[in-house]
Amino acid sequence: MSNKPIVGDQVITGDVYVGGTIHAPANAGAGSFTTLSATGTTTLAATLTGVLRGDSGVVSVDGDVTDIVSAATTDAAGKVELATNAETVTGTSTSLAVTPDDLTFRLASPPAIGGTAASTVQRLNKIIDGSTAIATLSTEQASDTVISNTGQGVNDINHGLPAAAAGLNFKAVIGEAQGAKYFRFTRAGSDTICLDGTGGKTYVGIAAPTQGAILDMQALQMASTGIKTGAALAIGGTKTNVYSGAFTFDAAGAGYAKAEVAAGTSPGAATTPQNKYGAVAFDIGADGNIDAVQCTNIATGFDSAALAVADLPAAAAGHARMGYVTAMSTDAGGFVWATTEFDNADSTVAYTSSTAYTKPYVWVATTIVGTWATD
């Protein structure tokens, strides 16, 4: 049968058999496309596969329709691309679909947990054998563990603590009684131990272990002695003095605040020779008084400000160092502390304020059961 053009709308009331392609003219103007209406059955040849489409002006059978199907989203159905095993393990795509095989592969390659490889995650309350002395407990032995003395026998047992640090904690449990031999833990280096509110200790232990005695040990940051907010040292309202702004500090574990000293604090009397540097530090204690501390050889002086600073004595116990000032004068009479004004044209002066200190970690011991004691 030859091709027959159909012009205008046509209504067909019988069955229509299509063995070829139904074409709509591509050059037809608006409103002039042929409309085919069928009230019966329209049958295509059995050899045709795909779908009928008219997006290009030709109604034809097309086996590839991906270009007219939108991508799937979390809100709408659509076409998807399947992820490979590698892409599933990478885990960054938001557009690929995961298959059961991908999921199995992913579970076989677990990612890091909190930045720690799964193989090194610690088991909570792991039991550590503390029946013989351990020179220094490892981080693993002192992290979420229970250290037991079971098996101590007639021996004094002293375990060395690791340096107190974030995350360290354990419980000591007495599983074996011993009437005459102690079971204790000793600090590392200059660390301190605080037992039941009393700090500054070097060890904690039980002199006569009794079954069921328990001690909790936690490494925590605690206040010590140091500047918390800077004092902003500068030339004082009295120009021979050193100004300090309002600041806060800790002294021997307690917190304090100091108001501004606008007039400044005197550096104390001394004379540093011409073209030599001297240094004076300013310290504060729990009493709130600011103490001027001169470098040991201020009367001799130094060839550099750094050398003068290195000659400053350490702050006294329980005193926080606010900072220091260095000065040098080209005047023949040298720099006369408490007399020469800090903005004198012949002088070179520098102020250095201490920055906030880092609170140290301390072993905090808490008695849960039994009679635990320190030195």
Q: What percent of the chain has pLDDT over 70?
A: 78
Tokens of 137: 């407990």
H-only helix segments in 57-194? 85-90, 100-107
More confident residue, 91 or 119: 91
34-39 average pLDDT score: 49
Task: Quickly state the pLDDT bin for 17 (edges 50, 70, 90).
Answer: low
What is the strand order of the sheet 193-195 is part of?
Answer: 126-129, 143-148, 169-173, 214-221, 361-369, 193-195, 198-201
Tokens of 95: 């557009």
H-only helix segments in 218-348? 305-310
Name the residue ranges covered by the structural domains of the chain.
10-68, 74-110, 124-221+365-374, 226-353
Q: Give pLDDT, residue 152.
A: 95
111-119 average pLDDT score: 52
HSE (CB half, 13 Å, CA atoms) of 285? Answer: 8
Q: Poorest-confidence range of 17-21, 157-161, 255-259?
A: 17-21
More confident residue, 127 or 102: 127
Distance between CA atoms of residues 265 and 55, nearest Å: 89
Whole-structure pTM value: 0.61
Task: Quickly state the pLDDT bin for 73 (edges 50, 70, 90).
Answer: confident
Q: Poorest-confidence range of 9-23, 82-96, 225-239, 270-284?
A: 9-23
CB atoms within 10 A of CB 103: 12
Q: Poorest-confidence range of 71-75, 99-103, 219-223, 260-264?
A: 71-75
Q: What sign results for the dihedral spanned by CA atoms 261, 263, 268, 274?
A: positive
Pairing of strands 42-44, 16-18: parallel
Q: Give pLDDT, residue 292.
A: 98
More confident residue, 353 or 16: 353
CB atoms within 10 A of CB 292: 20
User: Are the beta carbons of 142 and 161 closer than 8 angstroms?
Assistant: yes
Q: Nearest-CA neighbor of 145 among 185, 97, 187, 189?
A: 185
Element spanning 89, H or E: helix 85-90
Task: Quickly state the pLDDT bin for 30 (edges 50, 70, 90).
Answer: very low
Q: Is the pLDDT of residue 119 over 80?
A: no
Q: Nearest-CA neighbor of 321 among 253, 228, 259, 241?
A: 228
Q: Is the pLDDT of residue 47 over 50?
A: yes
More confident residue, 55 or 210: 210
Distance between CA atoms of residues 338 and 322, nearest Å: 19
Which residue carries 């201490």 as its tokens?
A: 354
Q: Give pLDDT, residue 316.
A: 97
Distance between CA atoms of residues 36 and 151, nearest Å: 97
